Amino acid sequence: MKRAEERLEMRPSQSTAIALLGMASVCCLFAAGCSVGEAAVVRTRPDLVSVAEMTSFEELERPSVAFPHDVHTEAMKQRNEECAICHQVQDDGRLSSKYQRLEDADEEGLIDLYHDNCIGCHQERAMADEEAGPVACGECHRRQPAYLSSRQPFGLDKSLHYRHVKASNEKCDGCHHLYDETKKELVYVEGKEDSCRDCHREEREENRSAFRTAAHDACIGCHRDPPLGIQSDSRGPQECAGCHDRQRQLEVEVVERPPRLKRNQPDFILLSASEADLEASKLKTVPFSHVEHEELTTNCRTCHHEKLEPCSECHTLAGADKGDGVKLYRAMHGVTSKSSCLGCHETEKAAAECAGCHALMEQGRLSEYGCDRCHAGPLPPKLESEASRYGSMDDFRPKWSEIRLSFATDDVPEEVTVGILSEEYEPAVMPHRKIVNKLRQYINDSDMATQFHGHEDIVCQGCHHQSPVGEKPPLCGSCHGAESAGPDLFKPGLRGAYHQQCLGCHESMKLKEPSDCFGCHAAKQPMIAAVTSSAVR
């Protein structure tokens, strides 16, 4: 096992959230008139719980209370007191996540519940000359909070799921259950295990608790009092920071290659519309390897954001309520979606070895044969009769003998001289063949690039973006004139086109050279003399 920090980097969404959190801290301080010295007083905590249940009755007169849960948990431990002092026991024997109750009462009763117990506890501690919490209204209901939340989302990836499976001796009924309408109780059905979010949504619905409540009740309940058969020495954290502190998350041990999660999913499948939409579907089916994609993800929810069912069950051709109206085409092709095929592939293109070409292209843009790279299976009407002919992705992969340039490598110019700035600099000499060969190597080293590029000729389109694949591209000046094309803002002049393409590629691929103009354009002798003369003066 390895620590997560050895293999995980902060995701963009997480780093952005922390940056915004820092900005929010600064804004709050300056809005309150704090000096730089006072700024250090405002800190962040991962355990802040917003006490705002009264908002379900009416708008609050005072700000909600930011409750530091772990501070109180630690105080309880020091006094050898149990969590049951604040949390009541439910029918299943686990503690309720609600404070001093199982269900919300009326507004007045709820206010009294918090005020009488919280303030009463603080007063008792103070009278006993012990460290105590606030008793004044403004000390809890603060307009300028003493802390800002640094809580990070947390969930089970494949590694942590496997560790839980192993600790429970591969018994899944402790977490996975369905509601039996006949028996009016929760039951476990093997082969029907789903994500908790399949039933437990953001808000409570009928007799189903909200996801956050269900997760905390189940996880903390099991960590505090493991059922029989679960290794007692493998108890998980019981405090907020144990799961929601960024540093603690990085310290979680990671199983490098956990066994595959089996949920009746096929190893290989031809993706298509649902049976009801099959006749209306016009595009060819999509060969898809579950095995290969599972190895690239940490969680099934990367694609299956709620139920572990085929995408077409919720996303139909016309759109259905079950899939929130999102049509099948959009579910698979949403460029900005984290769950769609195209959205995931666009993210992969951000890698330095890919970004040199793709960062300068229109997002989601495909070549003239781009659709066929995915839609390579039989047409839907023939699916039933032809599907048995195909057993794996190998039946659809491009043959290595086909992955080559359609022209000889020697036909690729070894160097290209760009002399558009020859009046000011020496002509720039670009190592053209060396660049082409390096890009070809990147393609051949990547299974994904090999699959989707299909033919190495497409490497030319990284720079020659309007030229047909497989043909000798024309000179850049064939499209880009000496000056900008006026109303066509997407067609810069030749000078701008060269700098945008070359420098844009170098920046996207994180190349350190060239660092200045002279890295490409050697200075002419008169210019050097003029610079030297100016320096002497």
Query: In this predicted structure, what is the pLDDT of residue 234?
Result: 64
- Residue predicted with more confidence, 135 or 405: 135
What is the pLDDT, as a whole number, of residue 73? Answer: 92
Confidence category of residue 35, pLDDT binned at 50, 70, 90: very low
Residue 396 has a pLDDT of: 84
Mean pLDDT along residues 52-74: 86
φ and ψ at residue 178, rounded to 5 degrees: -125, 160
Query: What is the structure's pLDDT at 353?
Result: 92
pTM for the model stands at 0.74
Tokens coding 346: 């666009």
| 89 contacts 95 by C-beta, under 8 angstroms | yes
Q: For residues 121 and 138, what is the distance between their CA atoms, to the nearest angstrom? A: 17
Question: Is there a contact between 392 and 289 (Cβ–Cβ < 8 Å)?
Answer: yes
* Per-residue model confidence (pLDDT) at position 381: 78
pLDDT at 252: 92
Residue 514, preceding bond cis, omega within 30 degrees? yes
Q: What pLDDT, in 10s, does the model give residues 285-317?
A: 999 999 999 988 888 888 988 788 889 999 999
DSSP-based three-state secondary structure for 323: helix
Where are the strands (E) in 193-307, listed by range?
A: 253-254, 268-271, 286-289
Confidence of residue 489 (pLDDT cuts 50, 70, 90): low
pLDDT digit string, tens, across residues 320-343: 998 899 999 999 999 888 889 999
How much is the pLDDT for 536?
41
pLDDT of 485 reads 62
- For residue 26, is pLDDT > 70? no
Model confidence at 55, in pLDDT bands (50, 70, 90)? confident
Confidence check: pLDDT of 6 > 80: no
Q: Identify the bridge partners of residue 425 per DSSP, sorted by sequence position.
A: 523
CB atoms within 10 A of CB 127: 9
Q: Are 364 and 334 in contact (CB under 8 A)?
A: no
The arithmetic mean of pLDDT across residues 488-509, rounded, is: 87
Domains, the chain, ordered by start: 42-149 (3.90.10.10), 158-254 (3.90.10.10), 268-393 (3.90.10.10), 398-533 (3.90.10.10)
